[in-house]
Structures are given as structure tokens and as C-alpha cells.
Structure 1
């Protein structure tokens, strides 16, 4: 299989095709954002360890019913940071691979399994699923703090979560409808 070389593209085609590299600073910026999330995770983890081990318990004056609820909320915050970081990895690696240039990871032992069949639609479905996971963490935290929150805020969070779920189902369904017959792409 031969690929077109730069010499066979006209100047306008070359400019349009090369414009994909304008996305590179965006992906590099997301890598910086991920580093910031790592710092945030370490701060929250250190605060949890320091508060529970070195200060004889957690201050529950912030609206939680017990030290256990406060620990659970902090752990949910840590999980939230990890899930957002996973989302960033999917966008950085999958987006770069899909829209900018191949990473040439074939055969690399650490190549993500999903990367071998990523395309824009699969990436959208994966992102939607990650957003649902993040929303679920926030909703669980809301339920833990429910006594300290007003019903309208809880209702809007539930409606927003359901909107994410319906959107993800719609994306997956549209993907299924637009696939050629006999072709099934797994969205692990």
C-alpha cells in the first residue's frame, strides 16, 4: 500500500493537511493539566493521611455526619481525580492518534488495548462513558451529603447525570446504526 507523499499534494491541500499540527499545543496543554491533577491528588491524599493519622481524627464540622463519611467523601474526591486523569489520557492519546499523527506504538508492551481500534466515534463513546463515571462519583458524594443540601440542587444533579447517560446511550446507538453491516467495533 502506498501513501501519498507531500510532493503529490497541491499547496492548498498541503496547508489544510498540515493544519492538524495546530492541535499539538492543545494536547501538550492537556498534559500540563494532567500534571496539575497529579499534584492535586497528592495534596488530597496527604491531607487525608495527615488528618487521620497525625491529628486523631477528622473534623466533621464541614457538614458530614461522621468521620467515616468525611473519609468516604475524601476518597471519592481521589477517585474523581483519577477518573478525570484517565479521561485526559484518553483525550490526549486517542485524540492525537486520531486527529494529528500516528504514535507508532504497534507491538509496544504498554500500548493501550483500545488504541488499536480508536476512531472519532469510539473516542466519543469512551469519553461519554468516562463522563458518566465522573458524574456518578459526584452524585454519590451528593447522596452522602444529602442532609446538608437542598432538594433542588440534588434534583438538578440527578437530571444532569441522567442527561449524560441518555447522551451516551444515544451516541452508542448512533455509532451502531452508522457501522457497516458485519463490522462491530468494541468500545472497551
Structure 2
């Protein structure tokens, strides 16, 4: 009975596979949004001033960071929780993709979230002359600081747990 339960629990990890496939579809939606944003940016570039140009670039960078975040979750999550990916025969396979453990995954996720938060904050600062709400700006700063502090605490606790092992 114990062996059956353990086998059943072990096989249940495959229930996560549809989540990762869903994230691949979400990545395609993000690519679509990136294409729309890029088209808008390029087609209106001649009418942009310096601030609009920087904001357009930041929007593209923001979408790129978000896509990278989704890729990290897909590969690392699948590798850690479902099954190993056979990288043989893929000369351009990034080495990190098969070496990120759960702790590394958390750190990469939080680092990506901090970067995305920083871009949102930078966009708000770039729009100060266009009447950005002071309350909204305050919340963006607070949220960013919370993400940064969370990242530092997470890295510190992971380092402490590594030392204890």
C-alpha cells in the first residue's frame, strides 16, 4: 500500500505539466503584445520627444524582462518539479537552464520582479512632468523598496541555510 501511495504521489508531479504549457501560451500572448508595442513605437518614433522615446524603450524592456521571467519559471519549474529536460543535441542550450535549483529559481524570480518594478518606477519618474499622481508614485516607491528588501532577505536566508548544510 505504501509503495502504491508513493508511486501515485510521484506520478502526480505530471499534473504541473499543463501549467507550464499554459505559460508557453502566455509567452506567445506576451510576444503578441510586444509586437504591437514595437509597431506603435516604430511607427510613431518621428513624433516622439526624448521622454516619449525613453518611455517607449522602457515599455519594450519591461515586456522583455517579463518574458524572461516566464522562461525562467517554465524551464526551472519543469526541471525542478516535473522531469529533467534532455539537452543533448542542442548546442545552443543555455547551461543555466538545467542547473537552477528551487533556491536559485526564487532568487532569479525576485531579481526579475525587482527589475520590472524598477522599470515601472522609472516610467513614473519620466512622466512627472505629465502630472503623475503623487500617491501613485509613493506607492510605486514603497512597493519597489519592499521587493528590494525581500530580495535581500531571501538571499541572506538562502546563504544562511547553505552554511548550515
2:155 is the alignment partner of 1:179? no
Alignment equivalent of 1:105, drawn from 76, 81, 87: 87
Contact 1:146/1:154 (8 A) holds in 2: no
Moved >3 Å (runs of 4+): none
The TM-score, its normalising length taken from structure 1, stands at 0.81
- Matches of residues 76-87 of structure 1 in structure 2 within 5 Å? 76-87=58-69
- Matches of residues 1-188 of structure 1 in structure 2 within 5 Å? 10-52=3-45, 56-58=46-48, 67-105=49-87, 108-147=90-129, 148-180=131-163
The TM-score, its normalising length taken from structure 2, stands at 0.92
| RMSD of aligned residue pairs (Cα, Å) | 1.7
Question: In the comparison of the two structures, how many residue pairs are matched?
Answer: 163
Shift of 1:106: 5.4
Which stretch shows the higher mean deviation, 105-114 or 95-104?
A: 105-114
1:179 is paired with a residue whose SS is helix
Contact 1:98/1:120 (8 A) holds in 2: yes
Higher alpha-carbon Rg: 1
Mind listing any 5+ residue stretches in structure 2 that lack a counterpart?
none
Mind listing any 5+ residue stretches in structure 1 that lack a counterpart?
1-8, 59-66, 184-188
